[in-house]
Amino acid sequence: MVTSTHETSHRIFQDHPEVLTPVFEALGLSPPAKATIEALTPDATEIKPLERRVDTVLKVEPSEGDGFLIAIEAQTARAPGKGFSWSYYVAYLRAKYGMPVLLVAVCKNRPTASWAAGPFECRVGTWTTQSTRPFVLDPDNVPEITDESVVARQPALATFSAIVHSESANAATILSMLARGMRSFDKATAKYWCEWLEVGLEDTPVRETWRELEKMVATYFPGRGTLFEETYLEGKAEGKAEGKAEGKAEGKAESILSVLDKRGIPASQETRDRITSCTDLDTLTTWFDRSLTAGTAEELFAEE
């Protein structure tokens, strides 16, 4: 089942590949800062009507050495048959791109991580034809961020770490430190990372803890029921229906532009005017969802 926690656990790598630092360090590879990393299509569907989709696929071109692919899967629990799917993903991507593939599984608890490490084997008798061994990111190898200065320097890693450790005994302490560290951000940056974290914690016991800590700035993540959205909608409840719709549209438009700015996606004045002048909430929600992964601002309007 795809949840908000699942989505943020892998989608953060698309926008912020620096979160891969623990993987690169563990494998002795060049750090992300010295490599060109681009997101590829996660679609692994064949011509036959059977859809298969990897959570996130990145192409890594190191400054030295050969390039490779990283297939990232967010896994919240053991799943029968998942090993078969992972083996297929690796084989398919290897054949399609002609590059070696590193499979990374993101897990929030040790039992799931132990299972996800595999190996998942295709065996006949004593002979193993194929063996798939994911590299697992879990509470044991993703460092707990306990220094506020690290939050300021590496907000993506700090946010990801808080999500991975959201089921640990220190989760509340980690979130408290993260909230203090975010006070050094400007308002737009704080909103951006607060919304990532609150949505990422949606299905965890500490989500309410974070909502209590999230007082330094209101966040807005349309359709997700975050603190900012609830506050915003409550504030508009006393107005007329037309006023509420207008306010919601304005908020969504601001969120779209904020995400584009934070991801470094340039948007012309014509594009900005088109977004801010739109009053259709469904259209704005579609544009917002696309803004999280779009390579250009024009991709927001692709179907149009």
Kindly report the three-state secondary structure assignment for every residue of the chain. Answer: CCCHHHHHHHHHHHHCHHHHHHHHHHHCCCCHHHEEEEEECCECCCCCCCCCECCEEEEEEECCCCCEEEEEEECCCCCCCHHHHHHHHHHHHHHHHCCCEEEEEECCCHHHHHHHCCCEEEEECCEEEEEECCEEECCCCCCCCCCHHHHHHCHHHHHHHHHHCCCCCCHHHHHHHHHHHHHHCCHHHHHHHHHHHHHHCCCCCCHHHHHHHCCCCCCCCCCCCCHHHHHHHHHHCCCCHHHHHHHHHHHHHHHHHHHHHHCCCCCCHHHHHHHHHCCCHHHHHHHHHHHCCCCCHHHHHCCC
- Together in a domain, 16 and 103: yes
Number of domain units in the chain: 3
Rounded average pLDDT over 151-173: 89
What are the pLDDT digits (tens) for 75-96?
Answer: 988 998 899 999 999 999 999 9
Decide if pLDDT at 103 tops 50: yes
Which one is predicted more confidently, 59 or 215?
59
142 within some domain: no
Rounded average pLDDT over 249-259: 82
143 within some domain: no
Residue 96: the pLDDT is: 92
Which one is predicted more confidently, 183 or 151?
151
Rounded average pLDDT over 191-219: 75
Above pLDDT 90, what percent of the chain? 26
- Under the banding of pLDDT at 50, 70 and 90, the label for residue 284 is confident
Which one is predicted more confidently, 143 or 2?
143
- Together in a domain, 223 and 263: no
Q: Which domain holds residue 197?
A: 148-230
Rounded average pLDDT over 52-71: 87
Q: Which of 230, 256, 271 is the last residue of a domain?
A: 230
